Amino acid sequence: APWRAALLGAALAAPRCRPPPFSTTGARGAKSRRLAQKRALTERQLTRYFVDHRKVRVVGGQGGGGGHSFYSEPRKEFGGPDGGNGGDGGHVIFKADRQMKSLSSILPFYQGFHGERGGSKNCYGANGAYMYVKVPVGTLVKEDGRVVADFTQHGEEYIAAYGGAGGKGNRFFLSNENRAPTFFTPGEPGQDRVLHLELKTTAHAGLVGFPNAGKSSLLRAISNAKPAVAAYPFTTLNPHVGIVHYEDYEQVAVADIPGLIRGAHQNRGLGMAFLRHIERCRFLLYVLDMSESQPWIQLQDLKYELEQYKKGLSTIPCVVIGNKIDLAQSRINLPLLKEQVGERVIALSALTGDNLEELLLHLRELYDNYVKTEQSQGKSPVKW
């Protein structure tokens, strides 16, 4: 009929129903979505930063239970017990890997693989596979405040949790006095430990200075690292490691240690949480704010804090960097600093990039001297 065709054409011509541009769910659903989105963002941010401390619980694998069976076949009804022993549980092993640079990928819990149960016909259960956990070189493993492992070389291993022993099958208890034992033992549980992992940075050079001396800006200028830069103290709350690349493919790692203050060896300010990163640096770069009055006092205070934290730490090969040389007051203080300081002074500006070439060349000289010293002593230098 004509009227049916008209209705059908109108229906086809009408716009289709589209979902509204706004959410029609309740406030509870919107809040749950916001919480889920925030949680995912925090998890992503966790792997962006240099993590130097982790608390880990490790449990070895459970041993497999012993088998319980008796051999029986036609014309041999009393073949005796043939239950095999269970397999041992797998260990949890920490292994140093030079490719790992942070503890951000370390999980809070690790469980070893379980051993299999013993079978009939004297078949032993398979042992649980070992679980290897890669940790960076320079990691300390502590238990109840006591150091139980110190990874200084690539490939070193430490058994963090032993797997449990497998149980004995009834074949194990066969004797002249007991020709048909029914007794068998279950597998033992694995070792359960709570360990604290601490990472001492194994960078070649460490930037040491008071807050707002320009360490983060200098690291940005000579490497691809992106530490936060702002005009307030304690901008850097986590250590950052930047890599300086040279034309012969050598790489020098430079660590930005969070700013120290007077009394840091007494755990003031950020305290000793970051002083430990300076211990294993092969040479130090003292960054001084040249715009301050008497900048050589900063160097004396920095060396005092390092010496109070660990004796001999201030005698590591070093170079003094006079930063912010683009300011007028800094150019006035530069000749006074050179008179007061016996070490080599490199004046530069991390903001404008003035005289960065001299720092990069001297940094390479320090690195080459370190490599030659390690090789002459029969040691392998740390490579990045």
Each residue of 108-127: pLDDT tens digit?
999 999 999 998 888 899 99
DSSP 9: H
DSSP 379: -
Tokens 């497999």 correspond to: 64
Nearest-angstrom CA–CA distance, 298 and 14: 78
Average pLDDT of the chain to the nearest whole number = 80
* pLDDT of the residue at 53: 82
Give SS3 for 142.
strand
Kindly tell me if the per-residue pLDDT of 42 is higher than 80: no
Which tokens is 4 given? 């049916």
* pLDDT of the residue at 39: 46
* pLDDT of the residue at 261: 61
DSSP 252-264: EEEEEPPPP-TTG
Kindly tell me if the per-residue pLDDT of 170 is higher than 50: yes
Pairing of strands 53-59, 192-199: antiparallel
Each residue of 270-312: pLDDT tens digit?
555 567 777 778 889 999 989 888 888 888 888 888 888 888 8
* pLDDT of the residue at 129: 93
Range among 152-161, 195-204, 238-247, 304-313 with highest mean pLDDT value: 152-161
Domain coordinates of the chain in residue numbers?
Answer: 48-199, 205-377
Least confident of 75-84, 110-119, 170-179, 339-348: 75-84
∠ CA 61-107-56, rounded to 5°: 70
Mean pLDDT of 14-23: 50
Which tokens is 303 given? 């060396």
Contact in structure between 121 and 82 (CB atoms under 8 Å): yes
Longest pairwise C-alpha distance within the chain: 108
Which tokens is 102 given? 């942070």
The class level of CATH for 48-199 reads: mainly beta
More confidently predicted of 275 and 57: 57
Each residue of 232-272: pLDDT tens digit?
344 445 667 888 889 888 889 888 877 566 655 454 545 55
Per the confidence metrics, is the pTM higher than 0.75? no
* pLDDT of the residue at 340: 87
**Amino acid letter, residue 235:** T
Contact in structure between 68 and 169 (CB atoms under 8 Å): yes
Residues in the chain: 384
Nearest to 63 by CA among 37, 81, 79, 87: 87
Tokens 């240099």 correspond to: 50
Backbone angles phi, psi at 376, to 5 degrees: -70, -25
Kindly tell me if the per-residue pLDDT of 86 is higher than 90: yes
pLDDT band at 37 (very low <50, low <70, confident <90, very high): very low
Contact in structure between 223 and 243 (CB atoms under 8 Å): yes
On the question of a common fold for 48-199 and 205-377, the answer reads no
- Asked if the 205-377 domain carries CATH number 3.90.1170.50, the reply is no
Kindly tell me if the per-residue pLDDT of 349 is higher than 80: yes
